[in-house]
C-alpha cells in the first residue's frame, strides 16, 4: 500500500482551476518531488494534502485512510506533517523549545500535568528534552539550543524547521521548497538530511525549484503545469520528457538539452 494516494484531486477558486484532476501515489520508501513552473499549483496541492484547504473534488488517502477535508491538525495527528515555503518559526521561543513544540504529538500532558507535574509528566518531559536535543544534533544546531529562534541565520532557520517537523514523528513529511534561499553548500547539506530522513523510514514529498536538489535527492518526480499532472517518473525520465521541457520553456519545441530545463526552472 502506498503512503499517500491522490485520486482526481481538484481545487477551484471561483473560475480558476488551481489543481485539476491530479492523481498520483507516494510510495512509503524514498523521496518524491513535485516540480512545475511558478503558478503551476504546487503549493495549492500541498495545502490540499495537508488539510489547510479542502479540495473541491477528489479523494486523498493517507495509508489507506480517507483524510479528505480533515482539519489540518488532524491530518498532522494522522502522521502527515508539513513545512512552509516561508519559514514559520516560533520566534520568541528558544531553538530547543521550537523542537519541543514539534514533539507535541509525541506527548499527552495537559493542563493538570503542567500544574501538578506528576511522575508521568516528568518522565514525558525528560523524554521530550532528550529527543529534542537529539534532533538538534542531527540538524547541526546543538550549539544554538538556548538561543532565540529569531536569532538564527536563515539557512539554520530552515534546518530548524525541518528538525521541528521531524520531531512530530511523521510517517510522511511534506517539504514546501526547503532549499529556497539556501546557498549551494547549505542546499547540499539539506539534501543529505532529506536523504537521511527518508532512509530512517519517513516518506518525503517535496516541492522544489532547485533542480540540482531534486535531481540529487528525489527518487521519483511528478511534474505539474496549469494545475494538471503532465509527467511522472524518475528524475532522468522526467528530464527527457518533451512535455516537461515544453512546460518549462513555454514553447512547443522539445529541447534535448537538460541544462536548458534547469535554467528555466530557476527563472
Partner 1 sequence: MTISPSITSPERRPFRLVGLLPWLFAAVVVGYAMVVGGYAATVVSFALIYAVFVTGLNLFMGFAAQVSFGQNAFAAIGGYGSAVLTATYGWSPLPAMVFGIAAAVLAAAIVGFPALRLKGHYLAMGTLAIGLITYEITVEWQSVTQGYLGISGIPPFGIGSWEVTSDRGQLVMLSLVVAACAFAAARIRRSRFGRALSAVAGSEEAATALGIDVSRYKLMAFLLSAGFAALAGSLFVHVVGYVSPEVFGLHMVIVTFTMLYVGGIGTVAGPLVGALIVSLLPETFRAFKDYQDLAYGAALILLLIYAPRGLASLFAPRGRS
Binding site for partner 1 (CB under 8 A): 50, 52, 71-73, 76-77, 81-84, 88-94, 96-97, 100-102, 104-105, 107, 109-111, 113-115, 117, 121, 124-125, 128, 133, 143-149, 164-165, 168
Looking at the Cβ atoms of 115 and 256, the one nearer to partner 1 is 115
Q: How far is the CB of 249 from partner 1 (least distance, A)?
A: 34
Q: How far is the CB of 68 from partner 1 (least distance, A)?
A: 17
Distance (Å, whole) CA 94 – CA 112: 24
Q: How far is the CB of 137 from partner 1 (least distance, A)?
A: 12
Q: How far is the CB of 256 from partner 1 (least distance, A)?
A: 41
Q: How far is the CB of 229 from partner 1 (least distance, A)?
A: 24
Q: How far is the CB of 43 from partner 1 (least distance, A)?
A: 13
Angle between helices 119-138 and 154-167 (to 10 degrees): 140
Distance (Å, whole) CA 182 – CA 187: 6
Looking at the Cβ atoms of 52 and 180, the one nearer to partner 1 is 52
Looking at the Cβ atoms of 51 and 235, the one nearer to partner 1 is 51
Looking at the Cβ atoms of 99 and 231, the one nearer to partner 1 is 99
CA-nearest of 101, 83, 46 to 197 is: 83
Alpha helices in 179-234 (DSSP H): 184-199, 211-217
Q: How far is the CB of 130 from partner 1 (least distance, A)?
A: 11
Looking at the Cβ atoms of 149 and 221, the one nearer to partner 1 is 149
Looking at the Cβ atoms of 143 and 236, the one nearer to partner 1 is 143
Looking at the Cβ atoms of 29 and 147, the one nearer to partner 1 is 147
Distance (Å, whole) CA 159 – CA 228: 31
Cross-strand pairs, 80 = 172
Angle between helices 258-266 and 242-249 (to 10 degrees): 40
Q: SS3 of 48, please? A: helix
Distance between first and last Cα of the chain: 37
CA-nearest of 17, 41, 70, 99 to 247 is: 41
Looking at the Cβ atoms of 1 and 115, the one nearer to partner 1 is 115
In 157-263, at which residue ranges do the beta strands (DSSP E only) sit?
Answer: 172-176, 203-207, 220-225, 228-233
Distance (Å, whole) CA 208 – CA 37: 10
Residue 145 C-beta-side C-alpha neighbours within 13 Å: 13
Q: How far is the CB of 87 from partner 1 (least distance, A)?
A: 9
Contacts (Cβ under 8 Å, ≥6 apart) of 250 = 264
Amino acid at each position: 500500500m502506498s503512503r499517500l494516494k491522490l485520486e482526481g484531486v481538484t481545487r477551484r477558486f471561483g473560475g480558476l482551476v488551481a489543481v485539476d484532476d491530479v492523481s498520483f501515489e507516494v510510495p512509503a520508501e524514498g523521496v518524491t518531488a513535485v516540480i512545475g513552473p511558478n503558478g503551476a499549483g504546487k503549493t495549492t496541492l500541498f495545502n490540499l494534502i495537508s488539510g489547510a484547504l479542502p479540495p473541491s473534488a477528489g479523494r486523498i488517502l493517507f495509508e489507506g485512510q480517507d483524510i479528505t477535508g480533515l482539519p489540518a491538525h488532524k491530518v498532522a495527528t494522522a502522521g502527515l506533517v508539513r513545512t512552509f515555503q516561508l519559514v514559520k518559526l516560533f520566534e520568541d521561543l528558544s531553538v530547543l523549545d521550537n523542537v519541543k513544540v514539534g514533539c507535541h504529538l509525541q506527548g499527552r500532558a495537559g493542563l493538570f500535568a503542567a500544574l501538578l507535574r506528576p511522575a508521568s509528566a516528568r518522565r514525558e518531559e525528560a523524554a521530550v528534552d532528550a529527543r529534542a536535543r537529539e534532533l538538534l544534533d542531527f540538524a547541526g544546531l546543538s550549539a544554538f539550543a538556548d538561543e532565540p529562534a529569531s536569532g538564527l541565520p536563515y539557512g539554520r532557520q530552515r534546518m530548524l524547521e525541518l528538525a521541528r517537523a521531524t520531531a512530530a514523528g511523521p510517517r510522511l513529511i511534506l517539504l514546501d521548497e526547503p532549499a529556497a534561499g539556501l546557498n549551494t553548500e547549505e542546499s547540499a547539506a539539506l539534501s543529505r538530511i532529506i536523504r537521511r530522513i527518508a532512509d530512517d523510514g519517513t516518506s518525503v514529498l517535496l516541492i522544489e525549484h532547485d533542480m540540482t536538489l531534486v535531481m540529487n535527492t528525489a527518487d521519483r518526480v511528478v511534474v505539474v503545469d496549469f494545475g494538471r499532472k503532465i509527467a511522472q517518473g524518475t528524475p532522468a525520465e522526467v528530464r527527457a520528457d518533451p512535455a516537461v521541457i515544453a512546460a518549462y520553456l513555454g514553447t512547443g519545441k522539445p529541447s534535448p538539452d537538460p541544462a536548458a530545463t534547469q535554467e528555466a526552472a530557476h527563472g
